Every structure is written in structure tokens, then in C-alpha cells.
Amino acid sequence: MTKNIQIHIPGFPRIGAKRELKQALESHWRGETTAEALEHTGRELRARHWALQRDAGLDFVTVGDFAFYDQVANHIQLFGCEPARFGFAPATPPLQRYFAMARGVGNSADGDGTTPTACGNPACAEHAGQAEQSGHEGHHGAALEMTKWFDTNYHYLVPEFSPLTRFALAGERLLAEVAEAQALGHAVKAVLLGPLTFLWLGKSKRAGFDRLSLLQQLLPVYGALLDQLKTLGVAWVQIDEPILGLDLPGAWRSAFDPTYWQLNQVGVPLLLATYFSPLEENLSLACRLPVAGLHVDGVRAAHELTSIADWLPHHKVLSVGIVDGRNIWRSDLDAALAALAPLLAKRGGKLWLATSCSLLHVPFSLAGEDQLDAEVRGWLAGATEKLAELALLQQTLAGADTAAALQQSRDAIAGRRASGRVHNAAVAARLAALPADADRRAAPFAARQAAQRERLRLPLFPTTTIGSFPQTAAIRAARAGFKRGELDAGQYRGAMQAEIADAVQRQEALGLDVLVHGEAERNDMVEYFGEQLDGFVFTRYGWVQSYGSRCVKPPVIFGDVARPRAMTVDWTVHAQSLTARPMKGMLTGPITILQWSFVRDDQPRARTALQLALAIRDEVADLQQAGIAIIQIDEPAVREGLPLRRGRWDEYLGWATRAFRVAAGAAADTTQIHTHMCYAEFNDILPQIAAMDADVITIETSRSDMELLAGFGQFRYPNEIGPGVYDIHSPRVPDAAEMVRLLRKASAVIPAGNLWVNPDCGLKTRGWAETEAALRQMVAAAHQLRAEQ
């Protein structure tokens, strides 16, 4: 007899409790270990993770969520659609082809994997090592492009589709893993990406080609795969169609019905899984599809649960993702039970419970965080703790005596809610008293521009850089030594000041107009600030996979954010003391800090953003007070914070741009505020970018040959712009002529008086030799442009 309440998870982190997969991959890529050894590690990790699921009491283990690099890449092999451009010889082993697609061929790309970063954008400086491989479109062996998995900081490899694409059931891996789990005695739920989501996530390699037209060809291959899974005797196949939570074009929506009608013919029970977003206009479509069950995100689509419970026919399984798979907070089990009660009543007591989405997006466990105090640790839950929460919910609903465990959970929730460490009255008071015009500079841009010109007296086409200079081995060693206590504070400060002096001297020798201190003291642009702010904690092992073997360890914002003291003033003032040229202060903006952290779930993101904004605002005021005339507030993550549904963009952009303006709002008219954003499609949010009202914005645009800038021109972007004139993702040194050409192109769309000259992004991943060579050319290009005016 099957239980009324069953529990499962859409997926589990595969990197391993101690990032074993990362180590195994990187040593294999270095040629130190064989493919067999890597496969062995994979098998061990799977076995361990399935055992954890079974031991926690899950009714099925999930098979198919494992990948040596990326789950989407697994599907490319599974469905036999490796791009022909790789020209693989028939005898090339599948794993070798797989890594070639993931990492490119003819590249020694082992830069990745060693230094964790907080950056969510593989196209920016923080991820330059990887972007280098994929940056060269057209090179036949270039890695597949990477892009963000929905609104997460995980990056998947983008399938390439063209009229020549053919599908065939090619990969053996999934079937072998199912057999592996069965041999270990597990009840198996296999997981697959649905055909529509798979096609959606890919890109058309020929202009005008509609990848949806490949569906008819793809479906029989899915059918054959499902048939084999059925033969193997899997209990369920979870088929992920998260695109049901997006604004879908009509043709894609109407493809769902016939697709699932066809796949359902195979006769293996299908659990259609959606996550990350409410279903909205796709709700009744999702409920009606001819499948055996539907999984919905009980956190992001909580308000839809009642209608789904009503609309989903009673013979179908409803799986409610009640435990948050996107954040690291312990669940409020009382609230969960209260939310489930009416659903259970509607569903005749039958329900599946799950995490909202795959646990890929949370750390493996937070139980071993020995440097967090027990109180804060008790508020957190990683993947393994979330399994236990599901089990506790199941047991409670099955009538077991769980009072003691529930009480413990209740105490932790109550403790967090009441904690004086979470709530800071001064912060609340400041927010409440914030004047409505705190987000406004005193004068409009034109007046500020005049005042700043008067003060700064910069030449036309002023040259600058984005902030970071090469993070040399010596810098990293000093920072690590300081963290380990081998260098004392004085020695560390001395070492960093020497690095700053070196950077200043090199910039003066190059003849740059606006200098930076180089960010030697920063390991990471978010962590550096988080470590100095109240309301943040840092885990030791809270790694989350970002792509391939790369993991990030996002800071945790658990309480009201406040800035106890200045964070950057000493370094910046020291740097300014070494030069007569303007020294640009360098800050990370509130939205980027928010976006690259785990954020508290007990208040709206907008409120946390505003608290961060006030902390940065204070830093702006202090820098200004110390005589710094130019302050850059980096916001590379503004674009990636956009909600999945367009209908919510305005709301987000409203509070996000206001947070930026509040941060910048302390600047006097004579203080020039810069912002920086990395490569992204900005054209659809130009009015909002303009509304941030930074005096200068630097953007990455060299790789698009200034195409990106055309939008700014058409929109008549009112303030000053520094379009990146060379790509920092490559060690190649561009020549001045190339940059002159780009700058002339830029002057055609932006008034020359509003143009700055700078690289695309920060230079932390580059070496000094190539950096100086490139900047010398850049300065020469600016001089040539000035001469032409």
C-alpha cells in the first residue's frame, strides 16, 4: 500500500560534502588522474547521496541529477546533439567529448576551479578564466556558451540548435545510473529536463531559425528513453518544465498539450516539475496536461497552491515544494503544516512533499559550521537538513509523535524572530525617518556636470580603469597569511600599501587621468564589504556550485545591515596621498551585494536592499568628507536580479534603482558618482539605468563592437558613459588603432564630451605586463581622439 504522504526532492547537490567532485574534476583535468578514477568518484558520490536520501526517509531517491559538469550538457549527450562544429572523431570517448564541449578544445583552461568567486556573471572579470574559453565565437573548438540557469547563480551550458541538428538516444549514463541505484536497493525516481525546456534553453545558431521546429524530431527520442526507463522499472520519471513559470510565446504554450499527450503514451508515470516561479496564466494548462503528477514551487508560488489543489484532477499526484530549495533558512514547520492542512483536505489526505526545487542551489549541510555560534547555526538549513525537515513533516502528518522535534524547530524559529542580533532598532528608525528625497542628488545632471568639470578639470576622453589591478601571487599570499595569522595587521597593511603605491606609480607612468587604488586588499567585491557590515555571517563550508567545478560561498545576510565604521576610506585616502590626480573610491553597490548573498526571508528583499544602500551611502559620505572627488559604486548584478516574469520587472527596478540612488544620494554636486555594469543586454532597461542617475557609467561593450552602445545613443542616454574599449577576458593586447576605431564609433552615437575611455571590466585576473601594454595603447588612443577634436 502506498503511503498517503510521500516525500522526495527534485534534485540534490552533486559537488559533495567536501567538494570531492571539484577535487576529482580538477585533478583529472590536470592530467593527474584517469577517467576511471573520476568515474569512481562519481559513483561514490551518487551512492552516498542516495543513501542520505533513503536514510532520511525519502520515498524515492532521485537519479539523473548528477553531472560531471552540468545537467544540461548531460542532456546534449543523452540526446545525441553535440554540435557538429567540434568535429569529434567517432572513437573519441564520450567523457572526453563532454569536457571538450564544456571547456573548449585547444585551450589550456585550467585557470578555472582554483579561486572561488562571488560573481554570478561569467562574463565579468571575476570569471574571466572561463569566459576566455567561450569568448571566441566561431572558433570551432570554443566551449559551449554558458548562461544563468533561470534566476539562479548556477550557469548551464547552452545547447546549440540549427536546421542541421539531429537527435538520437545516445548517452548511456542516465540508464546506467538508474541501474546503479536499483542495484543498491533504492526505489528510483529518474529526473529529466522536459523537451520544451531543453529546446527553450538552447540557442538557434542560424538567424531566424525556430528551435521549436525541432520538437517533432526530438519527441520520439524522449519516447524511446522513457520506454527504456519503464523497462528498467523506475517508479516515476520527474520531467522538469520550469519554463511554465515564464512568459511563454503562444506557440511554446500550445506545444505542451500534444507533447505530453505523446510522452504519456509510453506508460511510465510522469511527474511534471515546475519551479522558481508561479504558473499564473499557465496554471490551468499545467493542471490539465496528461501526466500522472505535478510538482509546484510551494515557496515562490505559495499563493497558487489552493487553486492548484482545486484544479488538478484527483487521480493525479500533487507534489508541493514546501521546503525552500533556494535559500538556507530552517523551515518554519508550523507555518508549513498550516499551509498544508487545507491542501490535504482538498486532496483527500494524499500529497507529496518536496523541496521547492533541486537542492543544487543550497550548501550540502550547515551542521558542521563550527565557527558560527550555535544560535545562528540553528537558524540555517542546508541540503541534508532540508531532507530531515521533509521527513519530520511526513511523520507528523502520518500521526507520529514528533512533538519534541517540532518544539525544537519552533524554538529556533522563535529565537530568530526575537533575536536582538537580527533586529537593530537604530536601522529601523533610520529607515522609517528616511526623507522621500534621500534618493535624489541636490542638482540635476547638467548642473552637476558643470560643477564637476570645474573641480576635476579632466581632458576630453578621460582615461580610467574599472577598479581592480592584477591580483598577483604575492597579494594572494599576503592576504592568506594575514587570515592565517602569519602576518599581523601592521605587516598586512604595509604589504597592501606597497601594492597600492606600486599600482599608483604604474598608472601615473601610463598617464591615466583618473586613478584607482587597485583593490589589492579585496578577495571578492561582495565578501570584502559583507565582512565589515553588521547583519552578515560567513560560513566555512557553505559552497554552492556555480558552474563546472566552480563553487561560490555566498555571504549570509541574517540581520539588519549596518556599517559600524568606514570600510574603504583608509586605503583610498592612502592611495590619494600618493598622487595629484583624482583617485576614484571603489564600492560595491547594494543590489550586487544583495544578489550575490543568501538573503533573509523574514523581510522583503527591497528592505534589505535599502539597508545595504544606507551603509554604502555612509561610505560615500565618508569618502567625500576625506576629500575623494570621484566614487564608483559597482552594480554588475542589476540586470541579473530581474524577475523571471516581465510583469514584475517594474516593481523590482523601482526599488533596485532607488537603492542605488540612495547609496549615491550623499554625494555633493561636485562629487562625481560612477557606476559599472558588465556585459548584459541593457537595451530593454535603459530608462531605469538612466534613472540611476550616475554621473558616469562604464559598461562592457568591446566584444559587441560597441553594438551595445547604439541603444544608449538611440535612447539619448543623458549622462556620461565609458564604453569598454578592450576585452579584459583575453591576454591579447589590442592596438591603439583598434580602440580609436571603437571610440569613433562611440562618438557617432554619444556626444564626445560625455565619453570616457576605459577597459571593459576590472583587471584582477590579468598579469601586469599585458595590463600595462594594453593600457598604454588605450591612453594613446585617447590622445589621438583628443587631437582629432
- Residues carrying an active site annotation: 729
Give the CA diameter of the chain: 85
Name the strand (E) or helix (H) holding 8: strand 5-8
Name the segment binding ligand GLN (CB under 6 A); options: 46-54, 68-76, 462-470, 707-715: 462-470
| Least Å from the CB of residue 738 to ligand GLN | 22
Q: Is 525 in the site for ligand GLN (CB under 6 A)?
A: yes
Q: For the purposes of burial, counting CB atoms within 10 Å of the CB of 349, is it exposed (0-12), middle (13-18) or buried (19 or more)?
A: exposed
Residue number with CB closer to ligand GLN (504 or 525): 525
d(CA 687, CA 704): 21
Pairing of the two strands 155-157 and 146-148: antiparallel
**Torsion angle, CA of 730/734/740/745, rounded to 10 degrees?**
-30
* Beta strands per DSSP E along 591-707: 630-634, 672-677, 696-699
| 8 A C-beta contact, residue 60 and residue 178 | no
Residue 171 interacts, among ligand GLN, Zn ion, none and using kind-specific CB cut-offs from 5 to 8 Å, with none
d(CA 377, CA 556): 11
Residue number with CB closer to ligand GLN (23 or 532): 532
Residue number with CB closer to ligand GLN (675 or 747): 675
What radius of gyration, in Å, describes the C-alpha atoms of the chain? 27
DSSP assignment of 426-462: HHHHHHHT--GGGGS-SS-HHHHHHHHHHHH-PPSS-
Residue number with CB closer to ligand GLN (318 or 586): 586
Pairing of the two strands 293-297 and 696-699: unpaired
The sign of the torsion formed by the CA atoms of 98, 104, 107, 108 equals: negative
Cα–chain center distance at 182: 34
The sign of the torsion formed by the CA atoms of 602, 604, 607, 609 equals: positive
Binders of ligand GLN among residues 102 to 121 (CB under 6 A) are 119
Binding mask 598-637 for ligand GLN (x = CB under 6 A): ------------------------------------x-x-
| Least Å from the CB of residue 676 to Zn ion | 6
Residue number with CB closer to ligand GLN (126 or 640): 126
Question: Would the annotation count 315 as a binding residue?
Answer: no
Size of the site for ligand GLN (CB under 6 A): 17
Rule CB under 6 A: choose which of 59, 112, 126, 640 binds ligand GLN. 126
Binders of ligand GLN among residues 745 to 774 (CB under 6 A) are 761-762, 764
Name the segment binding ligand GLN (CB under 6 A); options: 308-316, 383-391, 465-473, 551-559: 465-473
| 8 A C-beta contact, residue 663 and residue 621 | no
Binding mask 467-486 for ligand GLN (x = CB under 6 A): xx------------------
> Going by C-beta distance under 8 Å and a sequence separation of 6 or more, which residues neighbour residue 331?
322, 323, 324, 381, 386, 389, 409
Strand partners, 633: 587, 675
Rule CB under 5 A: choose which of 678, 689, 699, 728 binds Zn ion. 678
Residue 586 interacts, among Zn ion, ligand GLN, none and using kind-specific CB cut-offs from 5 to 8 Å, with ligand GLN
Residue number with CB closer to Zn ion (634 or 693): 634
Residue 764 interacts, among ligand GLN, Zn ion, none and using kind-specific CB cut-offs from 5 to 8 Å, with ligand GLN
Binders of Zn ion among residues 758 to 777 (CB under 5 A) are 761
d(CA 759, CA 466): 7
| 8 A C-beta contact, residue 169 and residue 79 | yes
| Least Å from the CB of residue 220 to ligand GLN | 44
Q: For the purposes of burial, counting CB atoms within 10 Å of the CB of 34, is it exposed (0-12), middle (13-18) or buried (19 or more)?
A: exposed
Question: Would the annotation count 466 as a binding residue?
Answer: yes
d(CA 138, CA 697): 30
Q: Is 124 in the site for Zn ion (CB under 5 A)?
A: yes
| Least Å from the CB of residue 38 to ligand GLN | 32
Residue number with CB closer to ligand GLN (61 or 503): 503
Q: Is 678 in the site for ligand GLN (CB under 6 A)?
A: yes
Name the segment binding Zn ion (CB under 5 A); options: 181-189, 245-253, 294-302, 753-761: 753-761
Q: Which three cell numbers stand for residue 752?
A: 564626445
DSSP assignment of 169-225: ----HHHHHHHHHHHTT--EEEEEE-HHHHHHHSEESSTT--GGGGHHHHHHHHHHH
The closest alpha carbon to 740, from 779, 769, 772, 712, belongs to 779
Question: Would the annotation count 676 as a binding residue?
Answer: yes
| Least Å from the CB of residue 520 to ligand GLN | 11
Question: Would the annotation count 20 as a binding residue?
Answer: yes
Residue number with CB closer to ligand GLN (236 or 726): 726
Which residue's entry shows cell 563550527?
Answer: 370
Binders of Zn ion among residues 606 to 665 (CB under 5 A) are 636
Residue 126 interacts, among Zn ion, ligand GLN, none and using kind-specific CB cut-offs from 5 to 8 Å, with ligand GLN
Rule CB under 6 A: choose which of 22, 103, 361, 676 binds ligand GLN. 676
In single-letter form, the type of residue at position 301 comes to A
Binding mask 305-344 for Zn ion (x = CB under 5 A): ----------------------------------------
- In the chain the first and final C-alpha atoms are separated, in Å, by 84
Residue 525 interacts, among ligand GLN, Zn ion, none and using kind-specific CB cut-offs from 5 to 8 Å, with ligand GLN
Annotated binding site for Zn(2+): 676, 678, 700, 761
Please enumerate, by residue number, every residue annotated as part of a binding site.
19-22, 148, 153, 466-468, 519, 550-551, 596, 634, 640, 676, 678, 700, 761
- Pick out the residues of the known binding site for L-methionine: 466-468, 519, 634
Q: Which residues are annotated as a binding site for L-homocysteine?
A: 466-468, 519, 634
Binding site for ligand GLN (CB under 6 A): 119, 124-126, 466-468, 519, 525, 586, 634, 636, 676, 678, 761-762, 764
Q: Which residues make up the interface to Zn ion (CB under 5 A)?
A: 124, 636, 678, 761
